[in-house]
Amino acid sequence: MPPSLDENTTTSLEQPLNDLSIKVKPRVKGGISTEFLKHLPPHSRARLERHGVDLSRGYPERPTDIPFYLDEAVAVRADEQEYIPRGKNADPEKKALLKNATAVNNLSKHIGTEIVGVQLADLNEQQLDELALLIAERTVVFFRDQDLPPAKQLEIGQFWGSQIEKHPQVPHVPGYPGITVLWPDHQILEGRKANFKQPGGASGWHTDLVHEAQPAGLTHLHNDQIPSVGGDTAWSSGYGAYDKLSPAFQEFLNGKTAIYRSAHTYIDRNDPLAGPKHIEREHPLVRTHPVTGWKTLWVNRAMTVRIVGLEPKESDAILSYLYDVYEKNQDIQVRFRWQPTKEGLGTSAIWDNRISQHNAIWDYEGKEPRHGTRVTSLGEVPHFDPTSPSRREALHLGE
């Protein structure tokens, strides 16, 4: 993530308001520069150039119209967009998707599947529809040895989502605002501090874009430069987290809503001296997945602020317990090693943010390069159906 406004961004009553803008905007400067191109990992550069990405002006590109005020940021994606639940009417056996697969490996009992022998770039809409169903059932699906053009990654995401996330602050592939660049070394070059004790960034359990009016559905991360050891990513299942709760606790949470906040902060133009503020939106604490129809617990420690209608101490205590359910139950988690992949190719992970948290593990400590491109397909307006079953109920797995 790029630098954002922090709690130290203040101004005195004697300063004119435009001084605040002068102080902060250089920290979130947009545009493109050749300054970082020489640091681009070789496998990443080869992939981008092979697939026609123009690097002549530099890499990566950051949005130039970066919101400064809170109302500007809220307005970025405020209008509801039509959402088609891909996978809802797909073949349950997924015969078209799996016909060319040489292996289909479930990496744990409840979450995570790897498909071998299938190129994502070659999939047609029927196969992508079946893949969306598999992701909705298994939470995250992996593909190694992928030769994936960034433009094709974007096209796949457009098929799956109501719209593509075009992040107003985070760098993207030049010419492709919907393809976010995940490159830890770039963040460090821009001044972000990271070390063994404070890895920062995406290290820590979280769910992406929970503050959106239509939060993230499927996220597709393709890593084209991977450390030889380390840099794994872990996912935890929201289906499993909900099923870990007692029926009485489930009933208490059903129908409750919570406040979810953005990762980045902005200035409230109506109260500029109050300091940086997050975008906040209210969504169901337990939501129903639009494809499977199963209930999922939808909280994360980083961006769930409070439960609506409860006293602060009550909310804090309950949320703390729910975070632990997600984070501490290893039987509802999967940890994926991005290596091995064939020389010059990459590995893709596609997961459903509506039913998961993830955690990027920074044990390689920046000693080797890591680079990837991410496309996030935004989903539906979150909803809760009280008649929907849990995953274990739907699959008759018992208590």
Active site residues: 206, 208, 358, 374
Give the Cα-Cα-Cα angle 382, 173, 146 (nearest 5 degrees): 80
Q: Contact at 8 Å (CB) between 249 and 370? A: no
Q: Contact at 8 Å (CB) between 224 and 346? A: yes
Question: What are the distances in angstroms from CA 151 to CA 122, 222, 352, 378?
Answer: 13, 12, 21, 18
For residue 153 the two structure tokens come to 């990654």
Q: How many residues does the chain have?
A: 399
Give the Cα-Cα-Cα angle 304, 223, 62 (nearest 5 degrees): 65
* CA 102 and chain centroid, separation: 29
For residue 215 the two structure tokens come to 């939060």
Spatial distance between the Cα atoms of 91 and 218, rounded to a whole number of angstroms? 19
Question: Which residue is listed with tokens 């991005």?
Answer: 338
Spatial distance between the Cα atoms of 37 and 59, rounded to a whole number of angstroms? 5
Longest dimension (CA), the chain: 70
